[in-house]
Structure 1
Amino acid sequence: MDGAIASILVLDGVTNGAIYALLALALVLVFAVTRVIFIPQGEFVAFGALTLAGLQLGQTPLTIHFLIGMALLAALLDLVAAVRAGRVVAELKPIALRALPGLAIGLCALWLAPMKLPLVAQALLTLAVVTPMGGLLYRLAYQSLADASVLVLLIVSVGVHFALTGLGLVFFGAEGSRNPSFWDASYAVGPLLFSGQTLIIVMASAALIVALWLFFEKSLYGKALRATAVNRLGARLMGISSTSAGRLSFTLAAFIGALSGILISPTTTIFYDSGFLIGLKGFVAAVFAGLSSYPGAALGALLVGLIESFSSFWASAFKEVIVFTSILPVLLWRSWRDPHHEEH
């Protein structure tokens, strides 16, 4: 291997690592706030990429109908809970306000989908459709189990993953899709050839990481999420709703997943189940950071990207094995440093 090949592999690793960094940050965020190891994170990647592919073909993706159905089902569950509590009149307006965004976005998307909008507009519409699914998924699958053990929440995440994967097959079929590039330019710097899409991936990932830092440091909602992550009981005593924090964290995770799918879909063919493997690499990066550190997750993601890139050169048939095996020494080290205590 000479310097030219090494630099190309580094560029490829950084590009992939930028996507893994976003997914790792989403996983850390969700786990810190809700204690959920969010295995279905990768499904939002596939939903984002394949919804955009459907819009490109002038179709109306079934994810739009799925969003409307989730919003109606969540409203129905809220209404049933209000009836049982004898608070129908008081809760009717909040229930309607919570259901309105998903229904409004879904109905607008049904109208706009067949119009063959420009690529950027279709990407924005895709984000608008997939992002609300995160908060609705929290309401439907996790909210009633908010105080359950981490093991129970993990089992639920596995079930949600299989459910979303099966729905992905129904929505998109078994055929893969690849979307057009957002920027077709290319730039040569020595032996490296930077495509416009590569630059977009790196810049968009960096911009989102900075935006998340500003959100957590400067905004009231971000500080509320940080408080919930540090001490759930203390946050409740200070008037911060753990339910609202959970919904917001899942909504952000869905946005990050959908954006990641949109960014990588011009560079690789995405199938209905491709998101799981991509999300799993983000999980490896998050584990490097102990599922607790945002900077550590970003650095771990870059490391995962570089390991994958160089493994594909030296042993392409075993690159996935090498990436996932790299998690074992990290787990052993963390186990020795922080021995497990039985959860009651």
Structure 2
Amino acid sequence: MESFAIGAALLQDGVTTGAVYALLGMATVLLFVVTRVIFLPQGEWVVFGGLSLAMLQDGKVPATIWLLAALSVVATALELAAAVRDREPRRFGRIALTCLGIPLAIVALTVWAAQASLPLVAQGLVATALVTAMGPLLYRVVYRPLVDASVLVLMIVSVGVHFVLNGLALLFFGVDGFRTLPFWDVQVPLGDLSLSGQSIVVVVATAILIAALWLLFERTLYGKALWASASNTLGARLVGISVPFSGSVSFAIAAFLGALCGILIAPVVTLYYDSGLLIGLKGFVAAIFGGLASYPLTLAGALLLGIFESGVSYAASAFKEAIVFLSVIPVLLWLSMRGGAHNAEE
């Protein structure tokens, strides 16, 4: 009976962790299929989301507002310069609204929310909006000028972006770790097992988001446009689909998923400024299980990875990270043998 209780507890922990990895893995797949960017700093969105919420709960203004403001100003300058070069002054109003007005409005909302003692859910929404707005601006400033670069160059740029964001996280939040209040602070009895309310929130939120992503890509025009951009960039341009817009949307979705993951796990895991590296890499491992192309396989791989990690942490905690990352080697070998000969770009 004791071994059953331990196994059930490990399974619960593994499914909860796997749900987080699933969201990060699907964000990684989304960015790769639409923009060809292997976005290694996906875990930084997790840190920014969770720690921004922690600052709001302490009644402090998250320093991440300065990053959003800086990205907003730079993106606005780039867009205005492009509009002047193309002699299209009618774009000035849209640029002022999307690149400057909306981000600065979110900055003002965040400053107000830090002093307003809002409910926990409202604080979570503000922190999510703060990080989500950074996604398309980062794409405009860093990745859009490199739209024709190779996958390898884009991955090297992602490594550089990771180090920049990691350093900014240290500057913004310091070296101390933070936890936030749980969204549902209950224990739900299930036989001999007790399920934590926060774990249920994580799993339910993941299921809802996966269903929403499926509806987006299968039932909406914007989702089909994203798929078209991913499948054939030239063809998408010929039928009037804006590839830069598709990239901006995909980065916004990825930033939203990362921020939401941070907010969901902050009550159960102490987040530090450098926590994003391991979390993001495990989401990337989940994406590798899906071949950086399949959402269902990414979901399955993430759940298996979470359960495997939970079991390894109980049996050999000192070697947990090494064993977890080694698990990707047989998957890569299998994908290599299944795919046969491919060109370097693929």
TM over 0.5, yes or no? yes
Give the drift of 1:78.
1.1
Q: Which of 337, 341, 344 does residue 342 from structure 1 map onto?
A: 344
Rounded to whole Å, the distance in 1 between the matches of 2:338 and 2:200 is 39
Corresponding residue number in structure 1 for 2:94? 94
Q: Is contact 1:8-1:191 (8 Å) kept?
A: no
Between 1:7-16 and 1:263-272, the stretch displaced more is 7-16
Identity percentage over the alignment? 57
What are the within-5 Å matches in structure 2 for residues 144-183 of structure 1?
144-183=145-184
What are the within-5 Å matches in structure 2 for residues 1-344 of structure 1?
2-87=3-88, 89-99=89-99, 100-338=101-339, 339-343=341-345
What residue ranges of structure 2 are gaps of 5+ in the alignment?
none
Q: What SS does the corresponding residue of 1:136 show, helix, strand or coil?
A: helix
Give the drift of 1:111.
2.3
Between 1:107-116 and 1:270-279, the stretch displaced more is 107-116
Give the drift of 1:85.
3.3
Q: What SS does the corresponding residue of 2:229 show, helix, strand or coil?
A: helix
How many aligned positions are there?
A: 343
Between 1:93-102 and 1:191-200, the stretch displaced more is 93-102
Give the drift of 1:116.
2.0
Rounded to whole Å, the distance in 2 between the matches of 1:342 and 1:44 is 30
Give the drift of 1:94.
2.5
Q: Deviations over 1:224-273 (max 9, x none)?
A: 11111222221111111110000000000000000000000000100011
Rounded to whole Å, the distance in 1 between the matches of 2:268 and 2:275 is 13
Code of the aligned partner of 2:278: L
Rounded to whole Å, the distance in 1 between the matches of 2:344 and 2:117 is 55
Rounded to whole Å, the distance in 2 between the matches of 1:315 and 1:210 is 35
Q: What SS does the corresponding residue of 2:194 show, helix, strand or coil?
A: strand
Q: Is contact 2:57-2:114 (8 Å) kept?
A: no
Code of the aligned partner of 1:153: L
Rounded to whole Å, the distance in 2 between the matches of 1:181 and 1:82 is 46
Q: Deviations over 1:312-331 (max 9, x none)?
A: 11111111111100001111
Distance 1:200 1:112, change over 3 A: same
Rounded to whole Å, the distance in 2 between the matches of 1:284 and 1:24 is 7
Give the drift of 1:5.
1.7
Rounded to whole Å, the distance in 1 between the matches of 2:249 and 2:111 is 25
Give the drift of 1:24.
0.5
TM-score, with structure 2 as normaliser: 0.96
Give the drift of 1:194.
0.3
Between 1:294-303 and 1:59-68, the stretch displaced more is 59-68
TM-score, with structure 1 as normaliser: 0.97
Rounded to whole Å, the distance in 2 between the matches of 1:67 and 1:103 is 8
Rounded to whole Å, the distance in 2 between the matches of 1:139 and 1:132 is 12
Give the drift of 1:336.
2.2
Code of the aligned partner of 1:142: Y
Q: Is contact 1:123-1:262 (8 Å) kept?
A: yes
Code of the aligned partner of 1:231: N
Q: Is contact 1:36-1:150 (8 Å) kept?
A: yes
Q: Is contact 1:33-1:229 (8 Å) kept?
A: yes
Rounded to whole Å, the distance in 2 between the matches of 1:256 and 1:128 is 11
RMSD: 1.4
Q: What SS does the corresponding residue of 1:2 show, helix, strand or coil?
A: helix
Give the drift of 1:191.
2.6
Code of the aligned partner of 2:343: H
Moved over 6 A (4+): none
Give the drift of 1:83.
2.9
Give the drift of 1:112.
2.4
Give the drift of 1:184.
1.0
Q: Deviations over 1:115-166 (max 9, x none)?
A: 2211111101101111010000100110010111000100110000100000
Q: Is contact 2:56-2:113 (8 Å) kept?
A: no
Rounded to whole Å, the distance in 2 between the matches of 1:342 and 1:227 is 23
Q: What SS does the corresponding residue of 2:82 show, helix, strand or coil?
A: helix
Q: Is contact 1:173-1:272 (8 Å) kept?
A: yes
Q: What SS does the corresponding residue of 1:187 show, helix, strand or coil?
A: strand
